[in-house]
Structure 1
Amino acid sequence: MNVLDNQHLQDPYRAPYEGAYLVRKGGGIGPLDIWLTAPLRPNPACGQGDRDTDALDCRYEELGGGHSLRIEEFGPDGQDRIDGRRWGRYYEAILALGDGRAVLVADISGFTGEGEVGPGMAAPPLTKEQLRTFVLRPEMPAGLKPWGTPTG
């Protein structure tokens, strides 16, 4: 990842690393979205979730201490999302924490539609292995506050 632009969108209920980043690489722009999800059921292993039919690839690993990591690969959107955008190819990582929260990172090759920021990339900004390393950095879950707690 060459540049993490200063286009981080932050509000008082988001943790320091949560937000939308634009990554510039090889002449393209790919969003990297990081957020803490509300409490959720345990992270399902591949083949046990309701989204597996859409995933081109799925990797799942138990990390100990109630933590698990699921990384899925999805092809380009076939139709507009609720916000009127169509994502290109993307990876999604869900790091389930032992307390019911999860860190979710969407690693997107680009998008078209409302708010389009420029040409997308041929592939998501991070490889699946780079995304795994990124999500497992100790500061990622440590920097996240309990759901609904103002950070400032």
Structure 2
Amino acid sequence: NYAVADKLALIARLGIGLSIIFSYPLNFVGLREGVLALIGKQKQAARRSWHAVSTVLLLAVMNGLALVVKDLGALAAFSGAIAGSAIIYIFPAAMFLKSAAVQRAKGTGAAPGAPRYKKSEILANWLMAGLGVLLAVVGGVVSAKGL
């Protein structure tokens, strides 16, 4: 929103553009390693053939998405709806429920001073996780309409 003739704004735009261009390879390496780990191909990732194929496929998918998606704000809203609900509601409840399950599995052999969870707390966390899923679905559907 700065004037076209503003030299400092031009320098700032160039700096941001250069930082995006030169940080892309660093971000892409992390993406490629993460995707290969997700599909269980970490050991093959060191091979040249896997490296080249995975790089070309990921670039093709990303460029295809870039051609189709015109509104990045809608994409950010979609990912925010899903990730926000997960971080705020689902993950904390899941951690609590896992802790309660571990304590329940230990039974009377739990360490002294270990927390004792009430059934009402467990139920409340199940409800909170369910609410998080519901909000993620509703938010995802509403924001997907903008895509």
Q: By percentage of residues, which structure has more helix?
A: 2
TM-score (norm 2): 0.23
